[in-house]
Each structure stands twice: as structure tokens, then as C-alpha cells.
Amino acid sequence: MHSDRARVRQTRSVWPGRLLRLGSVAGAVLIWQLLTASDTRIWLRFDTLPTVTEVVSALGRQLGTDVYYLDLAQSLLRILSGFGIATILGVASGIALGRSRLFAGILGPLTELARPIPAIAVVPIAILLFPDDETGIVFITGLAAYFPIMVSTRHAVRALPTLWEDSVRTLGGSRWDVLVRVVFPGALPGIFGGLSVGIGVAWICLISAEMISGRLGVGYRTWQAYTIVDYPGVFVGIITIGVLGFGTSAAIELLGRRATRWLPRGEENNR
């Protein structure tokens, strides 16, 4: 009985936050419709943009085509491939950089030199380096996500209290035990912070790469709509990108919460 009441109270406390988020989105859509439908021009030229109804109509038409879903599948395949590779390499190298002075001395300077370079600037090199555009786009996507993941993992590993490691070693634990029982679990909050940042950067670079050298994908289709002056189609692409980015980020956040259940959290973080 007590658990049921607590569950009811928690559900009631969650709804105001959800309604506020939905209200903010609905308000933005309403303002967009009013400004574009009335051909408002106050420094910004809203009269050149499509209305909400025009965008919804274009979305409905695209939802009825196979090309729209083919583009979705292609972009998702690219982002998952590049981000998956970046996750493995970023976490592994981040732990190594945080734990090994030798590894940090060898790889550290190279990563710091390469990190400020925007991944999208490497598109020409990827086109020359890889035998096909598809591999090059995955490479650009993975490169964009790698550095946020690596840096966050490295900082999380270096911030771990040495007392935890000393305790495991005192009980006879090996270096592998320290990595598995202390370093990796202790760094998980930082790792998932890097994953959240990395997935957003990966989407930015993926869409840009698709616009430059892609033949399929949401980014390619959005740029194609712009070239044929299909502005409602451009906004359909923008909205689709936003929904995909939101969905993948939410999935990572949910996975991070499940993997770090042992962390103390306030009530506001569970809403």
C-alpha cells in the first residue's frame, strides 16, 4: 500500500514537468505559424518561410514514400556504425590515457593536436583516403564522436579517488581487478557524459557529410530539397534530424541511468 501511494505521488510530480515541456514546444509551433502565416517581416523575413501547415502537408507526403524511410535507415546505419566504433575506441583510449603515463606520452600529444580540427574539415581527406563515400562518411561520424568520448573518459578516470584502487590492491586484487571493479564502474558517469556530447556532434558531422558527399540519407535529402527550392521539404528534413537526434540522445541517457543506478540521485533528476 505504501509503495503504491509513493508511486502515485511520483507520477503526479512528473506530469507538471512533462506538460511544461510539451507546452513550450506547442508554443514555439504556434508562434511559427502566426509569424509565417501573417507574412511578418520584422528584420527577420518570416514571409519567406513555409507555414506549419505547409510543412505538415509535406511531411505527410514524404511519410507515404519509400525514399523517406530509406533515408532514415541509411542515416541511422551510418550514425550507429560511426558512433559504435567511436565508443569502443574512445573509452579504451580514454582509460589508457588516464591510467598509463607511457600511453599518455605517446598518444596524448597526437590527440591534442588533432582534437581542435573540426571533423567536417577532414571530408576531403576521407574522400581521397577511403575507396567509397559510405566508408568515408562513417569515418567522419566516428571521428567527430571520438574526441568528446575520449576526453570525458580520460578526465573521469583521472578524477577517481586513489583510495578505491588501494583498497582493491590491499585485498589482493590484480591490475585487471582494478580496471574492472574500480576504474570502469567509477568512470561510467563521465563516460556517459561524453557519449551524450559525442552523439550530438556525430549527428552534426553526419548530416554535413551527407550534404557534401552522400547519395542517400536525411542530410542529402534536405540539401536536395533546398537545391530545388522545396522549402517545406527542407523543414521536414530539419525536423526529422531533430527527432532522430533527440531519440538517440534520450536512448543514451536512459542507458546511462540504468548503468549507474548505484549513484545517489535527487527527486528532480528522476523527472
pLDDT at 264: 67
Q: Please state which of the ranges 87-91, 92-96, 167-171, 246-250 shows the lowest mean pLDDT.
A: 167-171
What proportion of the chain, given as a percentage, has pLDDT over 90?
45
DSSP 134-185: HHHHHHHHHHHHHHHHHHHHHHHHHTS-HHHHHHHHHTT--HHHHIIIIIHH
C-alpha dihedral sign at 110, 111, 112, 118: positive
pTM for this prediction: 0.83
Q: How many other β-carbons are positioned within 10 Å of the β-carbon of residue 155?
A: 16
Q: Which residues pair with 41 in a beta bridge?
A: 45
* 72-76 CB contacts, 8 Å cutoff, 24+ apart: 72/218, 72/240, 72/244, 74/216, 74/217, 75/206, 75/207, 75/210, 75/217, 75/218, 75/219, 75/244, 76/244
